[in-house]
Chain A
């Protein structure tokens, strides 16, 4: 049994909220630089230059990359031998979000009563928290601020098993096509295949946590990723939708077994401001 205090969790979450919003990951920067080399459209190249310059400014001036500092998704890997002390785990996470969004001058973008009055909760809570229980005595925390623009371009469909591999590809490519410039291309496309629908959507989002462009370790899935990426980049949407060959930096597919009657597919799109930071306590 190893004790981890709520205070340490709160302070860590606060720090991760700020770091995720100010400092774009090295894998994302590298993917954007590669995109700049590969893009043939002059407007597209100019857009990528500005995106890279923006990341530089944010880092130097310690200011958010994007004004949409997102609704906060938090993924926990909680070791079975961890004992949380000093309060409730989820309350500690939310207190960390509250603290980080206050101290980091991050935007409070969460409203209650989504279907009616839409009242701002004023502190960017509640966070959306997903917890996996794993062996061991560590707590891994991954904080992902997810902007509304990209999140609004999310899709889930129950394909018929007869649709098969081609049906999955056509669906994902169509989703990207329909989204156009709205999710701030160049995007990363998260795809979930299988599970029951709650799981399908969850693995599509978890797919976005992988380092950009790292293929799925399963060769058959990696091949699917490559084929979808090729098709997506033929759409011609380009950086910020002004036309170009780089619409997506990567496609990440995660799969899970599913029911014999189903072929569920979820698409969760990540904008170029792909923000997530992690810590292990």
Chain B
């Protein structure tokens, strides 16, 4: 299934755990340090350095771009570390997140409540994923180096839906299907 950004509630409603999806459009990149600053800004009543409504955040910090390329390797980082910050961003209208690894129960509840989706990109496939990124620019927090806030333009960025708005979870469903008891 092909989707574009910004994400509408209509499109989000069509996504189910396990779906293979490609994303074309704008994706924001932020991870640990940037998320800490987002929440600090919100606590101070300041605006975020980008408008999150309808948007997707990709948990990632790229390797440096070699000459002539928009970005270096660009695979996902472990999403669980961003769990403490995520419900606040969902409250602000964030509609999608891309990372890898499972989210905790609080985030999964918030996804259902705010009608947002969590996707996984293939961890370690940094070179492959970089090929779907057409443009990358730093839009805030440049001092964070690799953890700066980026805006990417992507084309056919491949992801798998992990958590949909219906409570589906691709990790749990996959494990259930392939787990073998010790006496089998």
Contact = CB atoms under 8 A, between A and B. Distances in A.
Contact of B146 (A108, A181, A273): A108
A181 B175 CA distance: 10
Contacts of B33: 118
Interface residues on A, range: 35 or more
A120 to B, nearest CB: 5
B168 interface: no
Contacts of A235: 175, 179
A155 interface: no
A60 to B, nearest CB: 9
Contacts of A244: 174, 178
A236 B181 contact: no
A241 B101 contact: yes
A64 B126 contact: yes
A149 B99 CA distance: 12
A65 B177 contact: no
Contacts of A47: 122
B64 A271 contact: no
A56 to B, nearest CB: 9
A67 B60 contact: yes
Contacts of A149: 77-78, 100-101, 123
B101 A65 contact: no
Given A51-B125, A109-B146, A234-B182, A67 B74 contact: yes
Contacts of A69: 63, 73
A58 to B, nearest CB: 4
Given A149-B78, A236-B179, 14 more contacts: A43-B18, A54-B126, A57-B131, A63-B72, A65-B126, A67-B61, A68-B77, A105-B72, A106-B64, A107-B64, A182-B80, A182-B100, A240-B100, A271-B123
18 contacts: A57-B128, A57-B131, A63-B72, A64-B126, A65-B73, A66-B123, A67-B61, A67-B62, A67-B72, A105-B63, A181-B100, A181-B101, A235-B175, A235-B179, A236-B179, A242-B18, A242-B120, A244-B178
